[in-house]
Amino acid sequence: MAIRGALGGVLMGLANLVPGISGGTMLLAAGVYPAFIAAIAELTTLRFRLHSVVLLAVVAVGAVAAILSLAGPTRTLVIEDRWMMYSLFIGLTLGGVPLVWRMARPLSAGLIAGTAVGFGLMIAMAFSPTGGSAGEGHAYGRLLLAGTAGAGAMILPGVSGGYLLLLLGQYLPILGAVDKLKLVLLTASAGEGIDLPLLSESLHVVIPVGIGVLVGIVGISNLLQWTLDRFPKPTLGLLLGLLLGAVAGLWPFQEGVAPKVGEVFEGQVLSQEGLAELDPGDWPMERFRPDTRQAGGSLLLIGLGLAATLAIDRLGRIRTREETATKGG
């Protein structure tokens, strides 16, 4: 179980770097999801069994290792090849719909109502003035909310924590902060000392997000489990609506456009020096008309993302059936 837990942690870390992939689905694929949820429940009620503590530890170590290793490259890909990455994210997101539908069916009034609410929330977030933008700054309250929402979402199969970070405008800032923290750790381990300014810049983001993650895992996950137990249809409908509405915020044909000197950006008039220091990940987004190559490539990437998530989902179901058969035997 420890080896599968480490594998599940790595997969969950990768999932949280890529909007559209659910960390819970990855744990299902590794065959450790039920044990992981049970372990969280035990620790939040102050029951400390060695088996549960070890499982949570190896999952956490695997997830952190994956995030530290790949946050920088993922951020670069999103900035430089946004239409390609967003197309892939759309396919990955749509792949979570069948999983949630299997949990929610058959159709009912509560399911329809929950789906409508979830879909409406996502549409409102996607088309709000700040929806989906990268440059929302590092406000502690927004970072705390991002960590809470992301951690709460990753508990449930089919719901992507990374996508919620994208909608809250904190996806690229968080990836950048994690990559800076990795650089600090690498230089320190090489005996070159600690880059205190870089460490401070990173921790201003990482600490509030980390607090939000703890709140999300302990509070939101238990709240979601409570609502699933008492109001399963509306809750699953809400999750289904979130997935369906998520695609609206992932319109792939948009790109960052550098602001000009003298323009007002985030409440300040940009100078030449300020423009030079502005991170490309914070540039305002503008939509563009794709050419034939981009349109065709986008459809292909959406199909690949969908196929990948469906394959992971199938693997998770096989794992679950194997565990059920083993326990039954």
Please state, in angstroms and rounded to a whole number, the distance separating the CA atoms of residues 192 and 293: 46
Q: Which helix (H) or strand (E) holds 286?
A: strand 285-287
What's the pTM value of the predicted model, to 2 decimals? 0.67
CA triplet 301, 303, 308: central angle to 5 degrees? 95
User: 107 by DSSP, 3-state: which?
Assistant: coil
Q: Which one, of 169, 252, 231, 213, lies nearest residue 23 by Cα?
A: 213
pLDDT in tens, the chain (329 residues): 667 778 778 878 877 777 656 677 677 666 677 678 778 778 777 777 888 888 888 988 888 888 888 888 888 888 888 899 889 878 877 877 787 788 788 889 999 999 999 888 878 766 765 444 444 444 678 888 888 877 776 666 656 777 778 777 788 888 888 888 988 888 888 888 888 888 888 998 889 988 988 888 777 767 776 887 888 899 888 878 877 877 776 788 988 888 888 777 666 777 888 777 777 767 777 889 999 999 999 999 999 988 887 887 776 666 556 655 565 55
150, 162, 252 from 304: Cα distances, Å: 24, 19, 15
41, 115, 135, 156, 217 from 223: Cα distances, Å: 11, 19, 31, 12, 10
Q: What are the extents of the domains in the chain? A: 2-253+289-324
Instruction: Write the secondary structure of 292-327 as one string of H (helix), E (strand) and C (coil).
Output: HHHHHHHHHHHHHHHHHHHHHHHHHHHHHHHHHHHH
DSSP class of residue 219 equals: I
Answer for the pair 115, 244: CB distance below 8 angstroms, yes or no: yes
What burial class does residue 61 get, using C-beta atoms within 10 Å of its C-beta: 0-12 exposed, 13-18 middle, 19+ buried?
Answer: middle
DSSP class of residue 156 equals: S
